[in-house]
Structure 1
Amino acid sequence: MEYRRLGKAGLKVSALSLGSWVTFGKQVDLKDAKTLLKTAYDAGINFFDNAEGYEAGESERIMGEAINALGLPRDTFAVSSKVFWGGDGVMQKGLSAKHVRDACDAALQRLKVDYLDLYFCHRPDIDTPIEETVRAMDNLVRQGKVMYWGTSEWSAQQITEAHAIARQEHLTPPTMEQPQYNMLNRHKVEAEFRPLYDGPGLGTTIFSPLASGLLTGKYLDGIPDGSRLDLPGYEWLRDALLSDDGQQRLEKIRQLKPLADELGMSLTHLALAWCLKNPNVSTVILGASRLEQLEDNLGALDAVAKLDTAVMDRIDAILDNRPPKPERFGQ
């Protein structure tokens, strides 16, 4: 396993990590969760990602039970939560100081830990001033309930504003952002966030590296029964695939398949290795519902060396979506 700094922070996280979106509490029960977590941990994964909004807290409860049952030493792993969607009540959502604290306390109970290593603002909140949220996060850090706080799917402007407020008011600034990043979604990580890597030292814990399974190639011939796009509550993913844009994306994946075959790797390994080539990616969050799936994804680490400059150029030619910038990552 490779370990990378979380931006400019001292914390080092595994290049591959394990997340629970869609899987824990939906496709994965406690028994399977213990198997997945132990396999990931034994392979060197030291970061487990979660959120209050994942299956209304059930995902965190299962992860907490599994970690506790496995007896993992607390000083050998990092666990996260995210705050925004805590319930239907007016005080149970958003990024108000009250909900930020209430959600943290609830996550600590469900995950069975004394502190969160990473705590994310799951989305920007237009109804709450950023200064209020920054102060709320700073309070949690000072109380020892949170080690590092960050954002998810915030704009570069919003993150920059949070840093400016923290600097002016002597508060704890955000350390990391959790954006979607994959071969099909590149602009935010590769272009919009560029000034934040060298300046504030932004770390990134990217999600959906396989574009919700599209980049595995399993949807090239339709939507398999039991797949993520076939699950109740995720119709929006299926609708996106069936749209004109979705079909154009599938065509790009069809064109990537011969290249993956030539390199002697699966489309899955190609897509994950491509994400790992970006030095501004702190960790790539894997989502797995089956042990075989997780074990296969871990093999992507060995595929990174095959993605030299010539291969990266061929990938760019197929994708035709590279954001303009002085030089590409991985060179």
Structure 2
Amino acid sequence: MSIKSEHNKVNVIIQNRVHAPIASLECMEEGMMSIDSPLMSNPFCRQASLSNLSGLRYRNLGKSGLRISNIGLGTWVTFGSQISEEVAEEILTLAYESGINIFDTADVYASERAEIILGNILKKKGWRRSSYVITTKLFWGGRPDTERGLSRKQIIEGLTESLERLQLNCVDILLINKADPMCPMEEVVRACTYCVNQGLTMYWGTSRWSSVEIMEAYTVARQFNQIPPVVEQTEYHMFQREKVELFLPELFHKIGMGTMTWSPQAFGLLTGKFDEGIQLLSRGSVRNFSALQDKFGSEESRSPHHQSKMYEISLIAEKLGCTATQLAIAWCLKNENIHCVLVSASTPEQLDEHLHSLQIAPHLNALIMSEIEKVLENKPERQPFIR
């Protein structure tokens, strides 16, 4: 090969790197790594590669370098409350062996027991620390009044306590759940930056923040040479769409913000279970979720029109040969602006059912998506600018 042709080859590679879309490296890896490769002798690598073939993908979280699976396992409601530690271990093991590499928890889940159980399982399994990602959340409103807030004290001490429960030296992402209106944004940003610099967390992000609050945090971080948030974790499903479809994509393009979503089943509404026209709330009996009951147990959700929509969604799922739950998760996965969809499960079988959504997503072509849109009639649109 001549020097000129070699030089042209290098230029092509560089150009491809510059113009390659973020989080599309799995195609290159699959081409470079064969089943006979020595690296594939590692059971986890082999399982992850096979999972890729069935729809599991690893994407960069926003414009950060952290790569996560497009489905993550959440511990909300289940770990420490609905299921035993033995069942939790089975679920976590299935998730890990299926290629899922991100596990989400919080300090208030099951009154801290979720973090404790997750930590016990991770220590028992002894998995390589670099092979999974742990996210935990600090709830500014989840403590007594004297300890409530997002002051530097609450953030640093709260994360330290979470690390003790998780039995880890650091978490991968610290999420601040809800902004504190009584605490200056600069203090929150500086405290999170301190946690990153001290090695208590690799990244920090937000959960249930408005786009205005996120932009304020980013602006403060840039102004004072601090570390900005990398991800927003928020609710997203067929009946909650505006934030994820209108505002977060704009934040991704402007500041590189990643998006993680939770509750693809709309807190159980999209399970396909009906009882005399009244949708069953699969999690409505859980304590401390009266707000969710108010939201999804309203007259609107029980109205014949709303029930008709959910029934038609279940018919589309039946036509695709899947459950309404699988269709709901696959519909979320279809959104390219979402980097990870968090699911939870109370049994290994339920998690396995969720994972089959990965195989449903490719079948949601333009015709099917249009059919779903006609049923939902809630596609968010920007309001025209009026001078």
Q: Identify the TM-score tier after normalising by the shorter chain.
A: over 0.9
1:166-197 alpha-carbon deviations (Å, 9 max, x no partner): 11111000000001001110001111223201
Residue in structure 1 matched with residue 223 of structure 2 by the alignment: 168
**Cα 1:221–1:143, aligned 2, differ >3 Å: closer, same or farther?**
farther
Residue in structure 1 matched with residue 350 of structure 2 by the alignment: 293
Alpha carbon RMSD of aligned pairs, Å? 1.9
Over the matched positions of the two proteins, sequence identity in percent amounts to: 39
Residue in structure 1 matched with residue 120 of structure 2 by the alignment: 65
SS state at 2:372 partner: helix
Alignment equivalent of 1:159, drawn from 214, 224, 244:
214
- When Rg is computed on C-alpha atoms for both structures, the one with the higher figure is 2
Alignment of 1:146 onto 2:204: no
Residue in structure 1 matched with residue 339 of structure 2 by the alignment: 282
| Mapped partners of 1:246, 1:235: distance in 2 | 15
Answer with 285-294 or 236-245: which moved more: 236-245
| Mapped partners of 2:181, 2:113: distance in 1 | 27
1:89-115 alpha-carbon deviations (Å, 9 max, x no partner): 345332111000011001101111111
The aligned runs of 1:200-279 (5 Å cut-off) are 200-219=255-274, 221=276, 227-248=282-303, 249-279=306-336
Residue in structure 2 matched with residue 56 of structure 1 by the alignment: 111
1:205-227 alpha-carbon deviations (Å, 9 max, x no partner): 10111111111112555789994
Residue in structure 1 matched with residue 31 of structure 2 by the alignment: none
| Mapped partners of 1:48, 1:222: distance in 2 | 35
Q: How much does 1:258 deviate?
A: 1.4
Answer with 254-263 or 34-43: which moved more: 254-263
**TM-score using structure 2 length:** 0.80
| Mapped partners of 2:142, 2:365: distance in 1 | 47
Alignment equivalent of 2:381, drawn from 314, 317, 324:
324
Q: Is the 1:6–1:12 contact (alpha carbons within 8 Å) kept by the matching residues of 2?
A: yes
Alignment of 1:75 onto 2:130: yes
SS state at 1:150 partner: strand
SS state at 2:147 partner: coil
Q: How much does 1:88 deviate?
A: 3.9
- Give the AA of the match of 2:68: V
1:133-185 alpha-carbon deviations (Å, 9 max, x no partner): 00000001111111110101100000001111111111000000001001110
| Mapped partners of 2:280, 2:254: distance in 1 | 46
| Mapped partners of 2:147, 2:346: distance in 1 | 29
Q: Is the 1:87–1:93 contact (alpha carbons within 8 Å) kept by the matching residues of 2?
A: yes
SS state at 2:77 partner: coil
SS state at 1:48 partner: strand
Alignment of 1:314 onto 2:364: no
Q: Is the 1:214–1:250 contact (alpha carbons within 8 Å) kept by the matching residues of 2?
A: no
- Give the AA of the match of 2:168: V
SS state at 1:178 partner: strand
Q: Is the 1:81–1:120 contact (alpha carbons within 8 Å) kept by the matching residues of 2?
A: yes
Aligned residue pairs total 326
SS state at 1:104 partner: helix
| Mapped partners of 1:287, 1:293: distance in 2 | 9
Residue in structure 2 matched with residue 11 of structure 1 by the alignment: 66
SS state at 1:228 partner: coil
**Cα 1:223–1:46, aligned 2, differ >3 Å: closer, same or farther?**
farther
1:42-93 alpha-carbon deviations (Å, 9 max, x no partner): 0000000011111221110011111111111111000011112586434533
SS state at 1:69 partner: helix
**Cα 1:226–1:276, aligned 2, differ >3 Å: closer, same or farther?**
closer
Residue in structure 2 matched with residue 39 of structure 1 by the alignment: 94
Q: Is the 1:80–1:117 contact (alpha carbons within 8 Å) kept by the matching residues of 2?
A: yes
SS state at 1:193 partner: helix
| Mapped partners of 1:311, 1:268: distance in 2 | 16
SS state at 2:284 partner: helix
| Mapped partners of 1:92, 1:18: distance in 2 | 29
- Give the AA of the match of 1:321: N
Alignment of 1:133 onto 2:188: yes
Q: Is the 1:117–1:147 contact (alpha carbons within 8 Å) kept by the matching residues of 2?
A: yes
Gaps of at least 5 residues in structure 1 are 327-331
Q: How much does 1:301 deviate?
A: 0.2
SS state at 2:106 partner: coil
Residue in structure 2 matched with residue 329 of structure 1 by the alignment: none
**Cα 1:246–1:195, aligned 2, differ >3 Å: closer, same or farther?**
same
**Looking at both structures, which has the greater relative contact order when contacts are Cα pairs under 8 Å and sequence separation is at least 6?**
1
Residue in structure 1 matched with residue 175 of structure 2 by the alignment: 120
